[in-house]
Chains A and B, each alone.
Chain A
Amino acid sequence: MKKTMYEKIWDSHLVCEAPGQAPLVYVDRHLMHEVTSPQAFEGLRNANRKIRNPHSILATMDHCVPTKDRELPIADPIARKQIETMADNCRENNLNLYDIKNPNNGVIHIVVPEHGFVHPGMVTVCGDSHTATHGAFGALAFGIGTSEVEHVMATQTLPQVKSKTMLVQVNGKLPKYSSAKDIVLAVIGKIGTAGGTGYVIEFAGEAVMELTMEGRMTLCNMAIEGGARAGLVMPDEKTYEYLNGREFAPSGSQWDTALAYWKTLPSDDGAEFDTVVTLTADDIAPQVTWGTSPEQVAPVSGSVPSPDDFNDEGKRQACISALDYMDLAPQTKITDIPVNLVFLGSCTNGRIEDFRIAAEITKNHKVADGVTAIAVPGSYKVKKQAEQEGLDQILIDAGWEWRDPGCSMCLAMNGDELTPGQRSASTSNRNFEGRQGKGGRTHLVSPAMAAAAAAAGHFVDIRNL
């Protein structure tokens, strides 16, 4: 039988199917951060259970860490306790932790690939919805809740219901200045935030395979915003080249064994998907979200819609409340929307190539009056690399703030946040009400679009620069 990549990974990780219970799936890699793990460790302790395979775990601190004055103690006592709890839990259980002072520290979904911790064909979980990122390597990677974190620690398995499969085929070539972020926003605009519910999405097609590994990570990262359990891209030469030589990647003769296995993973020709969605990359313009859900998105050359543009009553209502929250009038041209704050970073767009394109656009353009622009590298490694390339200096000279790594304004838990009514151009992944601070208004864009907005003080069509 012809199988999709998802089905191959599923079949090879099926431990058993006990009668009356959900199939049990084996977990190869378990990623952790400070917010969704403490209660799981506590549960484990209370039940007197041990971690089955500590080597399968890699942990970091990212959500509530400050991005400046890192040498000082964390001011917020509750955040400090969470950080200390993480350190204690990892020490007690002998886990690999990149703590706040470690040169490998950064956002979980940035540091894990940097160290080659996730490989093709692996089942990877994390108490974090953007675990989907690692699907870029052809790994089945998905977010879980804290009870499941505990479950995986204790058993190295999870009861799972098999997902349906969706192929998102992106044909053609992406125009200059459109990026992986624009592809995924366009996909979500097309299928809706619940369009992928119950599915694992495989992204394929010329435009997808043309992306760098960083671009593929951006793409899979936001599969969850389309409701999907996971996103996948088949492994190819770029994948192998990226992994080769990294700390946790196989080496020597094991590399050859692994490579032979990885090459069996891509979906068989003619394998059937439950749903197929097709897009033409040539048509994908830089995207800007105008509402409070990632599906409320328009090309930069477009305008904010009016509620009457939607036939579905739910979507019409959602448009009304989004426009109210965002303080936007129907038919406003996207390029007429002003911004006060620009955030460049997050596990969606906090990688080296994101800073390269932002610096390229920024060169010789000062940040506009009244705009605050913050660059937060996804990890210390990204930060160092950017500094070696002089990208930090270009941004700093233009008036940007250059910070230490962390989730920062992606979810605004660490004190970096919008004030009520402030409007951001953000390279993160969620534009929900209050996500970047109560009353704050978020427009999701690519790094190039964010940099251009910082210089202009409003959105601009970067294709015309």
Chain B
Amino acid sequence: MEPYNNHTSIAALMNRSNVDTDQIIPKQFLKKVERSGFGAHLFHDWRFNDDGSDNPDFELNKPAFKSARILVTGDNFGCGSSREHAPWAIADYGFNTIISSSYADIFYNNCFKNGILPIRATKEQLQLIANEINSHEGCSLTINLEAQTVSTPLGNNFAFEIDPFRKENLLHGLDDIGLTLEQIDKIDEYEQKHRRLYPWLWT
């Protein structure tokens, strides 16, 4: 995985709450057995008209948001299905950061496995950012993961919380499985105990 670097990028505003993973990547695209190429279908049903042309009313189709890397969106983002195709599509489209007031649990976990930083802001902070984007579409935010801050063009600065291990892994692009396998002795040891305590699971 690519390490997550500090960056200043255009932020796109999608002011909707409870955006579910069925909207992020509709089910007709889940039949593929590869991990790549899902960005073309991100938000498919909102993004495209029935004839396949761009829907000009959809937020992300605004020219000002075209090269955005930061997605600013409403409450409970990523609810619904566990499909990792959702963060795959988001990353493949070009986003590496999401700012919302809350995320569904599985989606939140899935982001970190794909180099996406999901920032939890307060409702007030989110409103402030949304206001700045609304008054100047195409403006950029600066994300500093080491310092855990978001800075806006008008000089607003927010700190955000993140689990220290998730931050480390993201900053260094670490492979979770590799990290866990460093604990292989502990897993072996636990498994011995497990066989003794729950023998019926091993027959």
Partner-B contacts on A (CB < 8 A): 12, 15-16, 18, 20-22, 24, 26, 28, 35-36, 38-39, 42, 47, 49, 55, 63-64, 76, 78-79, 81-82, 85, 119, 122, 127-129, 142-148, 150-151, 154-157, 159, 161, 193-194, 197-198, 227-229, 250, 254-255, 257-258, 261, 293, 314, 317-318, 411-413, 430, 432-435, 438
Write the chain B residue with the least CB distance to A195: B76
Neighbour of A155 across the interface among B32, B84, B187, CB < 8 A? B187
25 A-B residue pairs with CB within 8 Å: A24-B187, A35-B31, A36-B83, A39-B33, A76-B31, A81-B33, A82-B32, A127-B82, A129-B81, A143-B106, A144-B106, A145-B84, A145-B110, A147-B113, A148-B110, A151-B176, A157-B180, A159-B179, A198-B105, A250-B203, A254-B200, A255-B200, A258-B198, A432-B22, A434-B23
Write the chain A residue with the least CB distance to B87: A145
A227 adjacent to B186 (CB under 8 Å): no
Neighbour of A151 across the interface among B26, B31, B102, B180, CB < 8 A? B180
Number of inter-chain CB pairs below 8 Å: 179
**Contact flags B87-104 to A (C-beta < 8 A → 1, else 0):** 100000000000000111
Neighbour of A145 across the interface among B76, B109, B177, CB < 8 A? B109
A412 adjacent to B83 (CB under 8 Å): no
A435 adjacent to B201 (CB under 8 Å): no
Neighbour of A24 across the interface among B103, B110, B180, CB < 8 A? B180
B142: interface (CB < 8 Å): no
Question: In the complex, which residues of chain A have a beta carbon less than 8 angstroms from the beta carbon of B76?
Answer: 193-194, 197, 227
**Contact flags B190-203 to A (C-beta < 8 A → 1, else 0):** 11001001111111
Min CB distance, B159 to chain A, in Å? 20
B180 adjacent to A257 (CB under 8 Å): no
B165 adjacent to A21 (CB under 8 Å): yes
B168: interface (CB < 8 Å): yes
B18: interface (CB < 8 Å): yes
B124: interface (CB < 8 Å): no
B199 adjacent to A20 (CB under 8 Å): no
Within 8 A of A (CB), among B109-127: 109-110, 113-114
Considering the chains assembled together, what is the distance between the CA atoms of A26 and B20 in angstroms? Answer: 29
Write the chain B residue with the least CB distance to A122: B201
B18 adjacent to A318 (CB under 8 Å): yes
Question: In the complex, which residues of chain A have a beta carbon less than 8 angstroms from the beta carbon of B166?
Answer: 22
